[in-house]
Amino acid sequence: MPAQSLILYWPAVLQLQVWRLITTFTYFGSVGHNMLMETVFMLNYSKSMETLYDGKRAQYLWHLLLNGVALMLLNTLVGLLGVGMDQEDGTKIPGLPFLAQPLLYSIVWMWARRNPETQMSVFGFFNVKAVYFPWFLLAYHCVMGGGLNIFYLMGFAVGHLFHFLSNMHPYTQKLR
């Protein structure tokens, strides 16, 4: 199956290609080191987040679903701002074609916020607190020549929104 048939493209979704609403969250790119690393990250951090929900898998799944909806809405906004994927015929698909990476970085952000004091060994060379780990990933990506990636920023924004709404906001409401 070509990757082109998996992308989030709203005109195709409106033509009842509804699988695109799910497959956009499953594609990390072509087979290689980055895809392998991101798949392992997704499995590890998703499993860790699931344990934070005390085995309430349905609640975690609901959280992921809302995260996905927020990412699709943010992606639509990003597309309206002119970010998009150029096609071979010269047209541009608005927004990011795949949202697996933003979903991953959203999960990493939420995990880091729920485990801020956890010490993480980075490549076995130095330790970093979990709360700074998402920023380390972004800096590492930039240093390795990837530049400032909107995947990270979208994931961090949605992850922070959900962290705030589920953890910080209820606490501030109790203080009133």
User: What pLDDT was estimated at residue 171?
Assistant: 64
Query: pLDDT tens across 81-129, in order?
Result: 877 777 777 777 778 888 999 999 999 999 999 999 999 888 788 899 9
User: What pLDDT was estimated at residue 173?
Assistant: 59
- Whether 151 contacts 101, CB under 8 Å: yes
User: What pLDDT was estimated at residue 153?
Assistant: 92
CA neighbor of 138 nearest in space, from 123, 162, 124, 154: 154
- Cα 4 from Cα 149, distance rounded (Å): 21
Query: pLDDT tens across 131-157, in order?
Result: 999 999 899 888 988 777 888 899 999
| Percent with pLDDT over 70 in the chain | 95
Give how many domains the chain has, as a whole number: 1
- Cα 148 from Cα 142, distance rounded (Å): 6
Cα 89 to its chain centre, rounded Å, is 29
**Pairing relation of β-strands 126-129 and 119-122?**
antiparallel
C-alpha neighbours within 13 Å on the C-beta side of residue 84: 15
Query: For all residues of the chain together, what is the average pLDDT?
Result: 86
- What is the domain extent for residue 105? 3-175
User: What pLDDT was estimated at residue 170?
Assistant: 65
Locate 1 and state its tokens. Answer: 């199956």
- Cα 93 from Cα 37, distance rounded (Å): 27
pLDDT top residue among 69 and 87: 69
